[in-house]
């Protein structure tokens, strides 16, 4: 039982954005993905979720090969990419967003729990533009969680958020992992990631620089070199 990525390579013309990357995430586990701007982190998540074509590599969910499946088909099989507020619909209320997700009946206990956890309950009749920024960002995560992922891929959830909002997202991710969802999370905020992820994968220029236990990875010389003068704490 795992999300398994084997030897993934993605090129844009002459640029190798992701170069032979492998990783494994088990249910309930959180893997942090870090690396400088342009390292290939977002491209890696796009390759896993089916938004970008691979030159080579395999993605398996619980042994099932995802090759050739578009993102929505992968989502149906439990592999869900969360796109923050960029992918919400301006004209729909929060409640109407729920109708877009199959089986997300707001009367169900687990749906109510997700809405409560992400502070969305009072905003059900509101449209995204009327939500406080942090709550609007929560909507993207709520929609992803309502798809009942087995594995969730999330890109920079803490960016642009206040300390309180970011700790709210952090709690939501930790509690999702506690409910046995496996999570790959990219972020530039090391404090945020360090609290969440027991394991980390470090990318630089598309290549894996290090991977392993978070404390070991952040202490390693190769990672410190990549982040020289950067934000490792």
Ligand X SMILES: Nc1ncnc2c1ncn2[C@@H]1O[C@H](COP(=O)(O)OP(=O)(O)OP(=O)(O)O)[C@@H](O)[C@H]1O
Interface contacts to ligand X, rule CB under 6 A: 12, 15, 17, 35, 37-43
Cα 185 to its chain centre, rounded Å, is: 4
Q: Given the complex with Mg ion, which of 153 and 210 has the nearer CB atom?
A: 153
What tokens does 110 get? 């687990």
Distance, CA of 111 to CA of 103 (rounded, Å) = 9
37 interacts with, out of ligand X, Mg ion, none, CB within 5 to 8 A per kind: ligand X
Query: Among 42, 167, 205, 220, which residue sits at the site for Mg ion (rule: CB under 5 A)?
Result: 42
Measure the CA angle with vertex 173, ends 125 and 168; round to 5°: 60
Under the criterion CB under 5 A, does residue 159 sit at the interface with Mg ion?
no
Contact stretch for Mg ion (CB under 5 A) within 6-14, 36-44, 56-64, 113-121: 36-44
Which residues, including other chains, have CB under 8 Å from residue 89's CB and lie 6 or more apart?
96, 97, 100, 128
Shortest Å distance, C-beta 193 to ligand X:
13
12 interacts with, out of ligand X, Mg ion, none, CB within 5 to 8 A per kind: ligand X
Contact stretch for Mg ion (CB under 5 A) within 41-49, 74-82, 99-107, 168-176: 41-49
DSSP string, 70-108: -HHHHHHTTEEEE-TGGGS-TTS-HHHHHHHSTT--TTS
Contact criterion met (CB below 8 Å) for 18 and 8 = yes
Cα 154 to its chain centre, rounded Å, is: 1
Q: Given the complex with ligand X, which of 12 and 89 has the nearer CB atom?
A: 12
Q: Given the complex with Mg ion, which of 46 and 166 has the nearer CB atom?
A: 46
Q: Given the complex with ligand X, which of 78 and 206 has the nearer CB atom?
A: 206
Could you list the residues that contact Mg ion (CB under 5 A)?
A: 42
């Amino acid at each position: 039982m795992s999300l398994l990525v084997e030897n993934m390579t993605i090129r844009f013309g002459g640029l190798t954005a992701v170069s032979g990357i492998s990783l494994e995430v088990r249910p309930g586990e959180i893997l942090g993905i870090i690396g400088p701007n342009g390292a290939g982190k977002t491209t890696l998540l796009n390759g896993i979720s089916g938004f970008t074509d691979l030159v080579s590599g395999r993605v398996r969910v619980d042994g099932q090969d995802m090759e050739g499946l578009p993102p929505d088909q992968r989502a149906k099989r439990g592999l869900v990419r969360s796109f923050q507020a960029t992918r919400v619909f301006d004209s729909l209320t929060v409640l109407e967003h729920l109708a877009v997700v199959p089986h997300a009946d707001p009367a169900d206990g687990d749906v109510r729990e997700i809405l409560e956890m992400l502070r969305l309950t009072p905003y059900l009749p509101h449209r995204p533009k009327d939500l406080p920024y942090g709550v609007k960002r929560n909507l993207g995560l709520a929609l992803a969680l309502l798809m009942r992922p087995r594995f969730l891929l999330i890109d920079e959830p803490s960016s642009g958020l206040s300390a309180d909002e970011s700790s709210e997202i952090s709690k939501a991710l930790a509690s999702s992992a506690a409910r046995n969802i496996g999570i790959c999370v990219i972020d530039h905020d090391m404090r945020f990631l360090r609290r969440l992820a027991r394991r980390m994968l470090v990318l630089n220029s598309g290549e894996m620089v290090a991977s392993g236990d978070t404390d070991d990875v952040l202490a390693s010389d190769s990672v410190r070199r990549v982040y020289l003068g950067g934000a490792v704490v």
